[in-house]
Structure 1
Amino acid sequence: MVTDADLYRRSSQYQKWSFTKDQLAELLAKPNRNVPPHELALTVQEEQQLILYYAAEQVKSVCQQFKLPSQVRATAISFFRKFYMRYSVMEYHPKLILPTCVFFAAKAENAFMSITTFCDSLAKTEPSQILDLEFLLFKTLEFTATVHNGLRPLHGFFLDMQTVLDTFDRTELCSIHDKAKSLIVDSFVSDVCFLYTPTQIALAALMEVNELAATQYMAQSMDGPNTSLDRLLTLIHGCRQQLVVNLPSQEEVKGISKKLSRYYKDTGSEGPATKKQRTN
């Protein structure tokens, strides 16, 4: 029988955007090393802190402004993080890339809005800025726009748990589901989507919210001849430890942003608003 895990392993996300921890660390550091040395150049850590801030706070802000669903937010964050596995913030400022990621994610998740409506609601954002970058973004994504996350398998587990876990009432299971969903949404900015499958992320969120319910559910529904419960629990615990990300402080972000602005000024870059797009 073909399982959800089998189907996921055939997806472009698994084939192109799933890594080991070492592979991911190398991909995150490589764009920074490709930038010519400069006294004002950001370190790898500074770049990652800035990217994390924009992914967590600014993508959320724009999605909330347009009342976009969680799936769009997840996809926009995925697009944003993948872009900066290929380019440095010293090549393309996050303020330039972020609106394009949100707009393209909205289209990818069938929450389309006109480019005029989108840009009119964002300060200093022109339609040409979004459209000129769309192809570069899509090319950087290796022409893959489908993003899988833990929300869909979580819903499936919630429906199944109502049948399997007769010791938990519906109200309690609903509370577990809602808390796990919130945790998964917050984990969009973490590395787990590049290291674990959506099913594993959903189980890890359930484990974090209610370890007893999650453990009982896995023991009753997933322990069989083709599945080692102990091995699964070890894997889920590893994912669970990485769900929550510590965001940089406002002061840290402010300092890094100022350093990046000085870098743009000192190197003669045109900056985030007017930089010519390189799509070749």
Structure 2
Amino acid sequence: MYHNSSQKKFWTFENEECLEKLRFQSNQKFRAKVRGSGKELKGLDESSFLNPFEEDVLFRHYERRLLEFCANFKPVMPKSVVGTAAMYFRRFYLHNSVMEYHPRIIMLTCAYLACKVDEFNVSSSQFVGNLPETAAGQEKALEQILEYELLLIQQLNFHLVVHNPYRPLEGFLIDLKTRYTTLENPEMLRKTADDFLNRATMTDAGLLCSPSQIALTAVLNSASRAGITMESYLAECLGLKDDKETLCKMIDLMRRIKNLLKKYELPNSDEVNMYKQKLERIHAEFVNTIPTGNTGPSFMEIMPSPQSLAAETFKAMHHHCRS
């Protein structure tokens, strides 16, 4: 259950400012690593780095690529797997910079791990077979995914179970059918509510609110767009008629969730291309030239041995239903 989960305890934050602070710190941490590497790098100055805004543009670009990859995946990828992959991606870059770990491979690793954790049984060859690459290119991609998989699990703090809003949405639709007879056909709300959840995936809603709060907002937003008022559902069926304080808090939270979706902007293609060039230069000039002291795919702090990390990983995944 969400209320006893690692998601609520470790990955649900108080406000957007907390998230912005973490991302800023990740940006600064990478800069400090480069400066403290002890190696003279050509053309190193502040303009060489991506600033937080530029990182965000690239993050949104690769997040959309991740979702497109999942949408076109064969066999059809369940919504829960897509939601889990997107949340892994968002959590990873709370504490890491795109300058240190390239999102092109991290996004695929997130999708690959989500398939495993949510028990969507596809083989590794099936997975990379969805990439528009040659056989050699697919083999190389799989090598990179497997190389980054343990790193991803570690950076997620072994909290691998993600509670998505799709199941609560089904619960609300069933509840509307059985207890809210005022609404003749609750199924008419499904498509717009599904679209709302898909859009919410590309925001920080899942890092700020519970899955049921997001799902309820999707239902009420869908009803509102259809010209249906459902205030009585909140008051009567959800037992908030005599709890004005909780009702007001819930309405305020739903307003915040809708604002997150309203604020979302598609990444500008010209900006994406410009920042991509900058990112490739960073990886070529900074990341790949700094001695690491380990064999990881990027320079990082000392990690546990592969054997101990693999043992921890197995233990975490074996008990993931408790998270």
Bin for the TM-score computed over the shorter chain: 0.7 to 0.9
Contact 1:150 1:199 in 2 (8 A): yes
Q: Distance in 2 between matches of 1:276 and 1:261?
A: 15
Q: Distance in 1 between matches of 2:19 and 2:143?
A: 32
Contact 1:106 1:112 in 2 (8 A): yes
Within the candidate set 249, 267, 273, 2:268 is matched to 249
What's the TM-score once normalised by structure 2's chain length?
A: 0.77
- Structure 2 residue runs without a partner (length 5+): 32-44, 290-294, 304-323
Contact 1:13 1:148 in 2 (8 A): yes
Partner of 1:217: 233
Q: What is the CA distance between 1:103 and its match in structure 2?
A: 0.5
Contact 1:201 1:240 in 2 (8 A): no
Partner of 1:95: 104
Say which SS state the counterpart of residue 242 (structure 1) adopts. Answer: helix
Q: What is the CA distance between 1:226 and its match in structure 2?
A: 5.9
Contact 2:61 2:267 in 1 (8 A): yes
What's the TM-score once normalised by structure 1's chain length?
A: 0.88
Q: What is the CA distance between 1:159 and its match in structure 2?
A: 0.7
Say which SS state the counterpart of residue 284 (structure 2) adopts. Answer: helix
Q: Distance in 2 between matches of 1:63 and 1:167?
A: 35
Partner of 2:179: 164
Contact 2:91 2:156 in 1 (8 A): yes
Structure 2 residue 162 is the aligned partner of structure 1 residue 143: no
Contact 1:200 1:236 in 2 (8 A): yes
The two structures, once aligned, show a CA RMSD in angstroms of 2.2
- Structure 1 residue runs without a partner (length 5+): 1-6
Q: What is the CA distance between 1:275 and its match in structure 2?
A: 7.6
Q: What is the CA distance between 1:237 and its match in structure 2?
A: 1.7
> Aligned pair in 2 of structure 1 residues 58, 8: CA closer, same or farther (>3 Å)?
closer
What is the aligned residue count? 269
Q: Distance in 1 between matches of 2:116 and 2:68?
A: 17
Structure 2 residue 76 is the aligned partner of structure 1 residue 76: no
Q: What is the CA distance between 1:17 and its match in structure 2?
A: 0.2
1:137-160 residue CA offsets vs partner (Å, 9 max, x unmatched): 011111011111211111111011
The worse-fitting range, judged by mean Cα deviation, of 249-258 and 98-107 is: 249-258
> Aligned pair in 2 of structure 1 residues 196, 214: CA closer, same or farther (>3 Å)?
farther
Q: Greater Rg, structure 1 or structure 2? A: 2
The worse-fitting range, judged by mean Cα deviation, of 86-95 and 52-61 is: 52-61
Contact 1:40 1:260 in 2 (8 A): no
Partner of 1:276: 297
Say which SS state the counterpart of residue 126 (structure 2) adopts. Answer: helix
1:61-120 residue CA offsets vs partner (Å, 9 max, x unmatched): 244233212111111111111111121111111112111110001111111211122224
The worse-fitting range, judged by mean Cα deviation, of 45-54 and 227-236 is: 227-236
Q: Distance in 2 between matches of 1:231 and 1:241?
A: 15
> Aligned pair in 2 of structure 1 residues 267, 232: CA closer, same or farther (>3 Å)?
closer
Q: Distance in 2 between matches of 1:145 and 1:14?
A: 13
The residue type paired with residue 210 of structure 1 is: A
Contact 2:100 2:287 in 1 (8 A): no
Partner of 1:3: none
Contact 1:165 1:216 in 2 (8 A): no
Within the candidate set 167, 192, 205, 1:192 is matched to 205
Structure 2 residue 286 is the aligned partner of structure 1 residue 267: yes
Contact 1:29 1:44 in 2 (8 A): yes
Q: Distance in 2 between matches of 1:154 and 1:121?
A: 29
Contact 1:63 1:102 in 2 (8 A): no
Identity of aligned residues (%): 29
